[in-house]
Chain A
Amino acid sequence: MKKLKASMRSDLTLTILVFFTIAILVFLAITLGPKVYNGRNFQSMAFQISEFAVLAFGMGLAMLLGGIDLSIVANANLSGIMCAFVLSNAAIVASLGDGATIAIAVIVALVVGTVGGLFNGFLIAKCSVHPIVATLGTMTLYNGISTASTGGNGVSGFPKAFTNLGVATVSGVPVLFIIFMVLAIIVIFVMTYTGFGKKIYMIGENHTAARFSAINNEKCIMIIYAMAGFLAGVSGIMISARVNSSKVGYGDTYQLQAILVAVLAGISPSGGKGKMAGILLALACTQILQSAFTVWQFTPYSKKLIWGVMLLAMLFVNKIIDYLDTQKQKQLLDLQLAQDAE
C-alpha cells in the first residue's frame, strides 16, 4: 500500500489521468450505460481508433524530445497514397498477383513514411531548424506531393484481399487494433526500458547538457523522427485499408487531437516528461468521450470546443503540478541548508 502511494505520488500526472479516466468511465456508465458499453460499440471504437492511435504515438515520441511533428498527418496521407498507387496499378497486380502486390505496397508505404520522418529529423538535427518550422515545411511539401500526384482526387480500386484487412477480426478484435497494440507495446518498451529511451528523455529535458554528456543528440533525434515517420506510414496503410481509398486532407482533425492526447497523457510540450503508456489511457479516455458525444448528438464544432477546453485545462493542471513540485524541492533544499548550517 505504501509502495503504491509512493509510486502514485511520484507520477502525479499519470495518477490524475488514471482517476480522470475512471471517473469518466463511471460517469458514462451511470448516465448512458449500455448505449456506450456494448460489444458492438467497443468493436467499432477499436476500428476507428487504430489509425489515429498510431499517429498519436508518433506525435508523443516527437513531443517527448521537446519537438512536435506537424507533418505526421500529411506524411500518413502521402504514404497511403503511394501505397494506393501500387495497389491500384493493374499491371503490377496482373503480373505479380494479389499477395506480392500487397507486400510491395506495404513496404513502399513504410519506406515513404520512414524517409519522410527521416527528412524531418535531418532538418531538425543536422540543419538546426526549429521543429515547428521544419515540420511545417515538410507538411506543406508532403501535402504538395500528394496533391500534385493525385490532382486532389482519391485513389481507389484496391485488391479485395487488401480491403479485407481493414475489416478483418480475430475473435472479435480487429486486426488493425492488434497491429496498433503490438506497435504500442514495442514503443513503450523501447522508451521505458532501454538505454535509447533514457537518452531521449535526457535530450528532451536539456539538449545542451545531453550533448555534453556524450549522447549523440543528432543521431537520436533523427531516429525518433524516423520512428514517428514509420508510425505515420503504418497509419497511412491502415487508413487506405479501412476507407478503401487514399486522399489528400483525410484526417485533418487528427492533428489537434494527437497533440491533445499527448498532452493529456502527461507528455510535456517542452519535452523530457511523461510516460508513453499514458497515451493508451488518454486514447481510451478521448475515444469513449467521442462515442458519448455521438450518443448525445453533439455537432462537430462543439466537439472541437470541448477538445480545446480539455487541452487548456490539462495544460493548467500540468502547470500546477510542476509548480507544486518545484515548491516541494525548494522546501527540501531549504531544510537541508538549515541542517547544514547547524
Chain B
Amino acid sequence: MSKMKDSKKKFTFTTEKFLILIIVLYCIVVTCVNPGFFSAATLFDMIKSSAGSMVVAMGLLLVIITGGIDVSFTAVAISSGYIATTIMMNTGINNIFFGFAIAIIIGIVLGLINAVLIHVTKMEPFIITLATQSIFHGCLTTFVGTKNIGSVDIPTAITKFGGARLFTMTDEYGNKTGLSIYILIVIAVVALTWWIMYKTMLGRSVFALGCSAESARRAGFNSWKTHLFVYAYIGMLGAIYGMLSIGGVNACNPVSMVGTELTIIAAVIIGGAKVTGGSGSILGTLLGVFIMYLFNQTLVFLGFSSSWNNLFLGVVLIVSIVITSYQERRKNRRLFIFTE
C-alpha cells in the first residue's frame, strides 16, 4: 500500500502525515506555553503508561484489517491478569514468567472462543464481542471474585516487574526517573506484528480477508485459520496488556479496565485503520495511541483540566476518519462504485 503511494509521487494527505503534523504542532504549542513539558521524565512516563495500549493496539490492528472488531479485549485482559495473579498468590510461585504464561494461555483460550463464535455465526463481530465481553467479565466477577488485590498482597515479582527500569537518571530535584522495561515488550510485539503482517503468508491472508472475503477464499486462503489466528493473537496481547497494567499500578482490581475498550479502538481508528477491512498501518496505529496519551497527560501543561481530554480526542478522531473516508468515497465515485 505505501509503495503504491510513493510511486505516484503526488502529495496525498494521508492519516500518518496528518497525525505527525498534529503531534509536532501540539508539542510546539505546549513547549511555548510551558517549557517544563519537554523533558525526558515526561517521555518516559508516557512510554510506561501507553505501553499496554500500544501492545493491545497491535492485535486490534490485525483484527480490524480482517474487517472484524473486538471490544472484549479489556475483559480478556482483566480476566487473565486477575486469574494469573490469584494463581501466583495461591500457589506461591513468585515468578513473573509463570504469571505471564498463565495469563497468555487464558487470553488465547478466550480469544479462540471469540473466533469460533464469530466464524460459526457469521454475525457482526461487534455484537458478538460485546456479548462475550459481558460474559467474560461477568464470569470473572461472579465465579472468581470481585476482591481488589492491593499493593500489599500482590506477589513481589509483579511489583518488581512493574518498577523495573532499563536505566535510571536523577534530575536536579533528586527525583529518580528511568526508562521502564515495558518498552522492550512493546518493541518485541511491534516487531512480531510487523513480521507477521508483511513477511508471512498469514499476514497476506489477513489483508486478503479484509479486502474481500470471497476473493480470499477463491485465492485459496483459509478464512477459518485466519480468524482463529487474529482473535487468538488479540487474546494473547490482551493478556499481556492486563499484566502490564496490573504491574503498572501495582494492584489488581477486577472491575477496572472494562469500559475503556472504545478509547483504544478510537486510537487505532485515528491511526487510519479502516473498519471495513483491508488497510491499516503499524506506524499510524502507534501514532494514534501516542496522540491519545499525549492529550491525556499534557493538557494539564496547557492549563486545561483533564476533562477536556475527550473533547480534543473526539475532534481529532472525527477529522481523521472524515479525511480517510471522504477520500475513499471520492475515489469510489470516480470509479462508479456505490457500495457504501
Q: Mark A314-339, 1 if CB is under 8 A from B, else 0.
A: 01100100000000000000000000
Tell me if B131 counts as interface (CB < 8 A to partner A).
yes
Flag A115-156 by CB within 8 Å of B: 1 or 0 each: 000000001000111101110111111111101101110000
Q: Which residue of B lies closest to A151 (CB)?
A: B307
Q: Cα distance A144–B266 when bound, in Å? A: 14
Judge whether B146 and A137 touch: CB under 8 Å: no
A304 and B133 CA atoms in complex are apart in Å by: 9
Instruction: Please tell me if A171 contacts chain B, counting CB pairs below 8 Å.
Output: no
Contacts of B340 in A (CB 8 A): 128, 207
Name the contact of B141 in the complex, choosing from A127, A134, A137, A299 (C-beta under 8 A): A299
Question: Contact at B322–A123, with CB atoms within 8 Å?
Answer: yes
Q: Is A141's CB under 8 angstroms from B318's CB? A: yes
A308's nearest neighbour on chain B, judged by CB, is: B134
Instruction: Give complex CA distance A130, B134 in Å.
Output: 24
Q: Which residue of the partner chain, among A129, A147, A303, A309, contacts B135 with CB atoms under 8 Å?
A: A309
In the complex, whether B13 has a CB less than 8 A from a CB of chain A is no
Residues 253-307 of A at the B interface (beta carbon under 8 Å): 256, 259, 263, 269-270, 299, 301-307
Mask, B117-140, CB within 8 Å of A = 1, is 100011110111011111101110
Is B328 within 8 A of A128, CB to CB?
A: yes
Whether B311 and A127, one on each chain, are in contact in the complex, defined by CB atoms closer than 8 angstroms, is no
- Does B312 lie within 8 Å of A137, measured CB to CB? no
A301, B265: Cβ atoms under 8 Å? no
The B interface is mostly helix, strand or loop, or mixed, namely helix
Question: Do A312 and B338 have beta carbons less than 8 Å apart?
Answer: no
A133 near B275 with CB under 8 A, answer yes
Contacting residues, chain B, for A128 (C-beta < 8 A): 325-326, 328-329, 332, 340
- Nearest Cβ distance between residue B326 and chain A, in whole angstroms? 5
A302 adjacent to B266 (CB under 8 Å): no
The answer to the question of A68 belonging to the interface, with a C-beta cut-off of 8 Å to chain B, is yes
Which residues of B sit under 8 angstroms from A307, Cβ to Cβ? Answer: 134
| B306-325 interface bits toward A, Cβ cutoff 8 Å, 1 = contact, 0 = none | 01111111110110011001
Among A68, A143, A151, A319, the residue within 8 A (CB) of B310 is A143
- In the complex, whether A252 has a CB less than 8 A from a CB of chain B is yes
When distances are taken between beta carbons in the complex, the residues of chain B under 8 Å from A148 are: 307-308, 310-311
Contact of B275 among A130, A301, A305, A312 (CB under 8 A): A130
Q: Which residue of B lies closest to A309 (CB)?
A: B135
Q: Once the chains bind, are B314 and A132 in contact (CB under 8 Å)? A: no
Chain A neighbourhood of B312, CB < 8 A = 144
- A301/B142 in contact, CB under 8 A: yes
* Interchain nearest-CB distance for A10 vs B (Å): 23
Smallest CB gap from B330: residue in A: A128
Q: Which of B14-52 contact A (CB under 8 A)?
A: none
Q: With both chains docked as a complex, state the minimum distance between the C-beta of A334 and any C-beta of chain B, in angstroms.
A: 23
A305 touches B124 (CB 8 A): no
Q: Do A208 and B321 contact each other (CB < 8 Å), given the known contacts A127-B326, A148-B307, A305-B138?
A: no
Cβ-defined contact, A143 with B314, below 8 A: yes
Chain A CB count within 10 A is highest, among B127, B265, B313, B332, for: B127
A interface SS class: helix
**Interface membership of B256, Cβ < 8 A:** no
Instruction: Tell me if B95 is interfacial: C-beta within 8 Å of chain A.
Output: no
Q: State the interface size on chain B (CB cutoff 8 A).
A: 53
Docked complex Cα distance between A151 and B16 (Å): 32
Q: Is A211 an interface residue (CB 8 A)?
A: yes
Q: When the two chains form their complex, are residues B309 and A315 in contact, meaning their CB atoms are under 8 A apart?
A: no
A144, A208, A308: the one contacting B338 at CB < 8 Å is A208
Cα–Cα, bound, A152→B117 (Å):
38
- Assess whether B222 is interfacial by the CB under 8 Å rule: no
What chain B residues lie within 8 Å of A311 (beta carbons)?
Answer: 127, 130-131, 134
Most buried by A among B262, B307, B329: B307
A133-B308 in contact given A269-B123, A305-B139 (Cβ < 8 Å): no
Report yes or no: B131 in contact with A299, Cβ–Cβ below 8 A: no
Interface residue A65 (Cβ < 8 Å from any Cβ of B): no
A19 on the B face (CB < 8 A): no
Give the shortest distance, in Å, between B79 (CB) and chain A (any CB).
12
**Residue on B with the closest CB to A68?**
B126
Q: Does A193 contact B (CB under 8 A)?
A: no
Closest chain B residue to A301, Cβ basis: B141
The interface residues of chain B lying within 8 Å CB-to-CB of A70 are: 262
- With A147-B310, A256-B134 as given contacts, are A129 and B325 in contact (CB-CB < 8 Å)? yes
Query: Closest approach, in angstroms, between the C-beta of B157 and any C-beta of chain A?
Result: 28
How far, in whole Å, are A304 and B132 apart by their CA atoms in the complex? 11
How distant is the Cα of A162 from the Cα of B305 in the complex, in angstroms?
32
Shortest Cβ distance from B296 into chain A, in angstroms? 12
A136 near B325 with CB under 8 A, answer no
B137 to chain A: which residues have CB within 8 Å?
A: 301, 304-305
- Asked, given contacts A68-B126, A123-B318, A137-B266, whether A151 binds B134 with beta carbons under 8 Å apart, the answer is no
Give every chain A residue within 8 A of B263 (Cβ-Cβ). 140
Would you mind naming 30 contact pairs between A and B with Cβ atoms under 8 Å apart? A127-B322, A127-B329, A128-B328, A129-B321, A130-B325, A132-B126, A137-B317, A137-B321, A140-B262, A140-B266, A141-B311, A141-B317, A142-B314, A144-B312, A144-B314, A148-B307, A148-B308, A150-B307, A259-B127, A270-B124, A301-B138, A303-B138, A305-B137, A305-B139, A308-B131, A308-B138, A309-B131, A311-B127, A316-B121, A319-B121
Binding site for A on B (CB under 8 A): 69, 117, 121-124, 126-128, 130-135, 137-139, 141-142, 146, 255, 259, 262-263, 265-266, 269, 274-276, 305, 307-315, 317-318, 321-322, 325-326, 328-329, 332, 338-340
What residues make up the interface of A, taking CB atoms closer than 8 Å to B?
Answer: 68, 70, 123, 127-130, 132-134, 136-145, 147-148, 150-152, 207-208, 211-212, 252, 256, 259, 263, 269-270, 299, 301-309, 311-312, 315-316, 319
Beyond A152-B307, A301-B146, A312-B135, 5 extra complex contacts between A and B, CB < 8 Å = A127-B329, A140-B317, A151-B305, A308-B133, A319-B123
